[in-house]
Amino acid sequence: MTSPRSGQRCRVVVLISGGGSNLAALLAACDDPGYGVEVVAVGADRPSAAGLDLAGERGIPTFVERVGDHATREGWDAALTAAVAAHRPDLVVSAGFLKLVGAEFLAAFPGRYLNTHNSLLPAFPGMTAPADALAYGVKVAGATLFVVDAGVDTGPIIAQTTVPVLDDDDVEVLTERIKQAERAQLVDVVGRMAREGWSVADRRVRIGG
Ligand code: GRF
């Protein structure tokens, strides 16, 4: 059981690669002290990640670790681990972070590194989930928040949210419908984890005692 910090907000580091609409939703929620979360840093794997500006505007520290700046993938993983650990997070949230972390990172934040994915896992892992869902012809799509393990989108599931797939959807429309639900889920569930604590046993994730 990872218990909530008594009298203190949960320290969260967010990792991004792009626009950061999930990050923006989390930051907006943090404006309410009762939400229980403080985003203490935002990291990216590329300096062009637009979400870095959202953090900068709020005076939140940012950092960038590019894979290409390191001789090995393990070297990058070690540098990313150190950059995140420097902010002493209780929770690390991957929100559109387009890199798989390595063994050192996972060992540093066991049960505390979350990812949000835009499909109902275990269906449609990987980078093109909404397009894959549309091509398959499913009638329900959605998003999954999970605890990251060594696989690709395979970790224990914390929460899932669904949206309908409509007859005239294209990839863009479905992607945006999923993202709206995904953001609401992320804000809701990260807040509950911060306030109530959580546990991971085998593949079962439980929020609260
Ligand atoms: C999310 O839909 C996430 O599931 C996917 O990338 C998107 C990130 O969006 N991997 P944003 O950068 O938070 O707007």
Name 44's Cβ contacts closer than 8 Å, sequence gap at least 6: 15, 16, 17, 51, 52, 62, 63, 64, 65, 97
Here the CATH number for the domain that contains residue 64 is 3.40.50.170
Ligand 1 binding pocket (C-beta < 6 A) is: 16, 18-23, 95-96, 116-118, 179, 182
Selection from 92, 87, 125 nearest residue 110 by Cα: 92
Question: What average pLDDT does the segment 62-77 reach?
Answer: 98
Q: Look at residue 3 in the predicted model and tell me its pLDDT.
A: 83
Which atom of ligand 1 is nearest to 21's Cα?
A: 14
- Asked, for residue 155, whether it belongs to a domain, the answer is yes
For the chain, the average pLDDT equals 97
Does the structure show a pLDDT above 90 at 194?
Answer: yes
Residue 138 lies in a domain: yes
pLDDT recorded at residue 95: 96
User: Rounded to whole angstroms, how far apart are CA atoms 26 and 14?
Assistant: 9
Over residues 29-50, mean pLDDT? 97
118 in a structural domain: yes
Structure tokens at 167: 């007859």
Residue 4 lies in a domain: no
Can you tell me which atom of ligand 1 is nearest the CA of 175?
A: 2
Assess whether pLDDT exceeds 90 at residue 5: no
Q: What is the pLDDT of residue 101?
A: 98
98 is in an annotated binding site: yes
Residue ID of nearest Cα to ligand 1 atom 12: 20
Contacts for 76 with CB less than 8 Å, ≥ 6 apart? 65, 66, 67, 69, 70, 102
Q: What's the pLDDT at 114?
A: 98
State what percent of residues in the chain have pLDDT above 90. 96
Does the residue 25 lie in any domain? yes
Asked if residue 174 is part of any domain, the answer here is: yes
Q: What is the Å distance from ligand 1's center to 98 Cα? A: 9
Q: For residue 41, which amino acid is it?
A: A
Number of folded domains that form the chain: 1
Q: Is 21 annotated as a binding residue?
A: yes
* Residue 97 resides in a domain: yes
| Structure tokens belonging to residue 143 | 């998003």
How remote is the CA of residue 7 from the centroid of ligand 1, in Å? 31
Quote the CA–CA distance of 42 and 60 in Å, as a whole number. Answer: 7
Domain assignment present for residue 113? The answer is yes
Residue 209 above 80 pLDDT?
no
User: Which burial class, exposed, middle or buried, applies to 125 when counting CB atoms under 10 A from its CB (0-12, 13-18, 19+)?
Assistant: middle
Residue 2 predicted with pLDDT over 90: no
Given a cut of 90, whether residue 30 has pLDDT beyond it is: yes
Q: What is the mean pLDDT of residues 109-137?
A: 98
The pLDDT tens digits of the residues spanning 155-189 come to 999 999 999 999 999 999 999 999 999 999 999 99
Q: What is the pLDDT of residue 174?
A: 98
Range of the domain at 144: 10-207
List the catalytic residues: 117
- Residue 6's pLDDT band, with cuts at 50, 70 and 90, is confident
